[in-house]
Amino acid sequence: GCILDGKLYPFGEVARTESCFRCSCRPDAMRCCSLFHTPTGYDKENCKVVFNQKSCNYDVVQKSDPSKECFVYSRV
């Protein structure tokens, strides 16, 4: 298998790791891509970015009331 962040994964495709990556584990290498996109276009003055481990994505919420989401117009 392959080890990523101290955890052993079996050979083959890994749909989701604990750190929110999709990986391909092979005897010669482990290749991974992130399952999340980082928000870049949002109201940075009134909003903040919070990583949501359950959804493997970033939430952008109001600084004054984190229960309310902010509009995001671009992600990378």
Q: What angle do CA 45, 50, 48 make, to 5 degrees?
A: 5
Residues 16 and 44 in one domain: no
For the chain, what is the domain count?
A: 2
pTM for the structure as a whole? 0.73
The tens place of each residue's pLDDT in the chain, 76 residues long, gives 999 999 999 999 999 998 999 999 999 999 999 999 999 999 999 999 999 999 999 999 999 999 999 999 999 8
Q: What is the pLDDT of residue 36?
A: 93
Q: Are residues 43 and 71 in the same domain?
A: yes
Q: Give the residue numbers spanning the domain of 18.
A: 2-34
In angstroms, rounded to a whole number, what is the distance separating the alpha carbons of residues 4 and 11?
12
User: What does the alpha-carbon distance between residue 50 and residue 53 come to, in Å, rounded to a whole number?
Assistant: 9
Q: Checking DSSP bridges between strand 12-14 and strand 30-34, what pairing results, if any? A: unpaired
